[in-house]
Structure formats: structure tokens, C-alpha cells
Amino acid sequence: MSAAELDAIYLTIALATITTVLLLLLGTPLAWWLSRQKANWSALVEALVAMPLILPPTVLGFYLLLLFAPDTALGSAWERLTGTRLAFSFSALVIGSVVYSLPFVVQPLQAAFQRVPQNLLNVAATLGAGPFDQFRSVVLPLTRRSFVTAASLGFAHTVGEFGVVLMIGGNIPGETQVLSIALYDYVESLQFAEAHRLAGGLVVFSLVLLFLLYRRDRQESWRVQA
């Protein structure tokens, strides 16, 4: 395997890991809020979260690219704070991936949170548990499995990202050239043996991950009961 390929693998794993951690940190409160929200307008937030599921990644990438440009508020603030450019950087990829993979983390968490009966939280409250305590000691243990699902899906989806990365990251080896882009390069330059190696590896990785997730869902018969 070439150094460029190893770079791409490392970059992809780093991107997916950082993105997944950020998504869990941001997605958990968002999913909790959505799961307890009854107001109609929260459906708008839900729709926004789900947008990356149906939008072509290039649409998302296009708008993010405009947003990251040095002359925008975000782009210039970033430059002032970090001294580097946001566009075509690894940080830009992280931000793009967080937006792009958001529904894959928020949706399973939201569904799991909605299955936690309010009854149990009321009991916890009357036993002296405040909101954070209720979340930590009742909600988290009851939804632990969905966190694994959400993290796996977020990770896998980020690994499989292409359009957004192409639009906002460019194709800088060691900085923004992730696996899917490297694969694209190989195909463009008709290096099919190398392309096979990367494509096959991604297929196997995705298959194994999904197989493990679904097998666990079959084996476990966790029941949330009131």
C-alpha cells in the first residue's frame, strides 16, 4: 500500500472519529430536545436535521463552500482566531461531515429517547433526581445501545462521504484527501488495481460494521417496560 493510501486511510479514520465524537456531543442534547418537544415548529428543526438525507451532497457542499470563504463572517472569524484558512482545510471537512452525518446520529437517538417513558422520569424526579441525574441514571442506561448504533452509523457515513468533501475539501493529499477521494483519483487515472483495493476495503468495512450492528439487534431483546 502506498504512503498516499495510508495517509488517506489515516485521514479518513481521524475525520470519522472526530466527527462522531462531535456528533455525539451535539446530537445528544439536540435529539433529547426533539424527543421531548411537542410544539409544531420543532418539526422544522427535525426537517432541517434530516435534510442531508435527501439533498445531493454537492448542494450541501456548495453552500458550505460559500460559507467557508475568507470573505464571509465565519471564514474571516476563523482566520482571525486560528490564523489559517477554513476553506479546503481538514477543519472544514470536520464541519461539513458533522452537518452531513447529523441525521445518522440524531435520528436513532431521538427514536430511543422517545421510547423512554416519561413515567419513569417522573418517578426518578419524585425520588430526588434532578434533570441531569435523570438523564444520566435512567435515560442513558436505557438507550445505551442506541448510542452504539448512532455512533456506528455516524462513523460509517462519514467514512463513505464523497460529494461534500470534494466540494469543500478539494483533494489535498495528507490534508483533505480521504479514501473516497483517493479512490476517485485512481479511477480517473485508470489505476483499477489500486481502486479495487480501496473500494473493496470500504465494501468489507461497511458490510462488517452493519452485520455486527444488526446481529446485536437480533441477539439482544432489551425491553423498556413501564
Partner 1 sequence: MNGLSLRLDCPGENDFRLQLDCQLPGTGITAIYGPSGSGKSTLLDCVAGLRQAAAGSLVSFRGKRWLAPDALVPPWQRRVAYVFQDARLFPHLNVQQNLDFAASRRADDNGASMPQVISALALEDLLQREPAGLSAGQKQRVAIARALLSAPQLLLLDEPVANLDHAAAHQCLACLQQLARQLDLPMLYVSHDIEEVSQLADHLVLLEQGRLVDRGPLLDLCGRLDTRLSREEQAAAIVLGTVLRHDPEYGLTELEVEGEILLVGQQQAPGQSRRLRIPARDVSVCRQRPLDSSILNILPVTLTQLEADGEARVMLRLALGAQYLLARITRKSASRLQLQVGDRLFAQIKSAALLMESADQHE
Residues that bind partner 1 (CB under 8 A): 117, 119-120, 122-130, 133, 137-138, 141-142, 223-226
**Least distance in angstroms from the C-beta of 60 to partner 1:** 38
Distance of CA 80 to the CA centre of its chain: 27
Q: Which amino acid is at 101?
A: S
Phi, psi (deg, nearest 5) at residue 127: -85, 5
Distance of CA 4 to the CA centre of its chain: 25
**Least distance in angstroms from the C-beta of 119 to partner 1:** 5
- Closer to partner 1 by CB, 133 or 217: give it: 133
In whole angstroms, what is the distance from residue 78 CA to residue 112 CA?
36
**Least distance in angstroms from the C-beta of 224 to partner 1:** 6
Distance of CA 36 to the CA centre of its chain: 22
Q: What angle do CA 17, 20, 23 make, to 5 degrees?
A: 150
**Least distance in angstroms from the C-beta of 138 to partner 1:** 6
Q: Contact, 18 vs 90, CB < 8 A?
A: no
Biggest alpha carbon–alpha carbon distance for the chain: 67
- Closer to partner 1 by CB, 4 or 142: give it: 142
- Closer to partner 1 by CB, 81 or 127: give it: 127
- Closer to partner 1 by CB, 67 or 142: give it: 142
**Least distance in angstroms from the C-beta of 21 to partner 1:** 25
- Closer to partner 1 by CB, 73 or 221: give it: 221
